[in-house]
Amino acid sequence: MANRKLDSLGLGPKALEPKGRPAGVTESSWCRGVVGGTGITVLALLLSKAPDVSALQTALHRLQTSHPILRSKLSHDAATNTFSFIIPSTSHLQLESFDATSTSHLLKRLPTSASDHLVSPFHRILEHELNRNPWSSSKQEHHKHPDTAVFFASLYALPDNNWVLALRLHTSVCDRTSAVTLLRELLVVAKEVKEGQLKGEQGKRGEFNVAIEELVPRGKANKTLWAHGVDLLAYSLKSLRFSNMDFKDSIAPRSSEVVRLQMKPDETRRLVAACEARGIKLCGALAAAGLMAAHLSKNLRDHQREKYAVATLMDCRSLLEPPLQSCNLGFYHSALQHTFDIKGGKDLWELATKFCMSLSKSIKTNKHFSDMDDLNFLMCKAIDNPRLTPSSALRLAVLSVFEDPVIDASNESYRDIGLEDYMGCSSVHGAGPSIAVFDTIRDGRLDCACVYPSPLHSREQMQELIDNMKRILVSWSD
């Protein structure tokens, strides 16, 4: 059954190298969103060893060879407003390199705020990369830039003899699972290149290069036209009642910024143990703490209730037909939206349990597949009609979380390249939540990159929110 489906898509074992294809519905929504600044994925690595630029360039080309989607170019047809991926036969990525002087000048030119002393040069370069948007100009000047690459890489030398390697990708070809796979494969291939022992192509364990809609199991996304209409109306009407965090500046041009939530190993252990004892996922605790902190930030009376929306992203690879693995790069996540009434004095575990029960119910009824088109449609409508959202803020939820965290541990390949730290996340300032939480448990420590739109929200405001989230998680775990 699986082989017949792959053959019908031209992806069987005897299929020729793919030359390209139209973008799927979900991918097209990211293409629409990225013009305004939603959907730029960045993986930033802090290195303590001087990288071999030639070996790094070779490793990146090998990844593009192994994963054709990484060497694709995004093409936009202005006449039909449709997108497609064109896959050249050879790799084309060129590593952009900045010496210490150039990096220092860049950091001085970046916008500053009163709290920038809290942000390291590594952190600021991550934010800079989140806001570099070649896809915006390519759509606006289509006749000059008909096709744009989906994968860029930059190397920054810092004045303190550290380096930052930044991989920047279009989210339509790189979800969070893809970014993690990309990091792990890059470290392996870079070591092989350095030692002169380059082995077989990493991605040949199955590179489907197919849109998620093509792989949804038969019947799982079925919904009548009437049901689509009812759900769209329900989502639209509910959104008018959603509360948001206070907006600081809804007029000025926006960019994405990041605050970081980090917990010690013992704090992380207690939090995970508390979740396991109650049979709930970590995302439930993060979502509950985020909602409680958001409500707390508004200084309301304890009895005052407000309704908040949470978007949960889940990796669908294992649920598709045929199932995919983490080495199948692309965007294979779906979103589920839930709403919660919050008032002061809320019990973290009660709210976290309610969140996980709602999530589980939605998954059992296949809403992650059946509502996919509805949520994509609403995202595009919000982009086209910002006045339909409060203060034209384009906020579709107060918070977004992932169903499962990334679990990672330092290993020999990390030490070989001198990997001291890394962060991975995507931009949200075009349309999205007020804060998007990208959670990782690394070496036993919870580490979350939390992305928000600035100056719609300020760094001070979001840092206070994150501090309150951490305080809630630690105190309730104890």
101-110, 187-196, 283-292, 367-376 — which is least confidently predicted? 187-196
pLDDT of residue 111: 78
For residues 174-178, give the mean pLDDT: 97
> 2-6, 236-240, 277-281, 332-336: which has the minimum mean pLDDT?
2-6
Mean pLDDT across 100-114? 87
pLDDT for the residue numbered 444? 97
pLDDT in tens, 230-280: 555 555 556 667 889 999 999 999 999 999 999 999 999 999 999 999 999
Segments making up each domain of the chain, as ranges = 2-213, 217-477
- Closest to 446 measured CA to CA, from 417, 428, 469, 429: 469
Residue 11 pLDDT greater than 70, yes or no: no
Query: What fold, for 217-477?
Result: Chloramphenicol Acetyltransferase (3.30.559)
- For residue range 384-435, list pLDDT tens digits in order: 889 888 899 999 999 999 999 999 998 888 888 999 999 999 999 999 999 9
Residue pLDDT, tens place only, 17-28: 558 899 999 999
Mean pLDDT of 178-204: 80
pLDDT, tens digit, 9 for 90 and up, residues 144-160: 446 899 999 999 999 88
Report the amino acid identity of residue 69: I
pLDDT score recorded for residue 63: 94
DSSP string, 441-477: EETTEEEEEEEEEETTS-HHHHHHHHHHHHHHHHHHH
State the pLDDT at residue 381.
87
Residue 449: strand pairing partners: 260, 438
Nearest to 28 by CA among 68, 64, 77, 71: 77
pTM: 0.92
At 24-78, the pLDDT tens digits run 999 999 999 999 999 999 999 999 999 999 999 999 999 999 999 999 999 998 8
**Any idea which fold 2-213 has?**
Chloramphenicol Acetyltransferase (3.30.559)
Alpha helices in 196-300 (DSSP H): 225-239, 265-277, 282-296
Residues 6 or more apart whose Cβ sits within 8 Å of residue 64: 70, 71, 91, 92, 93, 151
Q: How many CB atoms lie within 10 A of CB 108?
A: 8
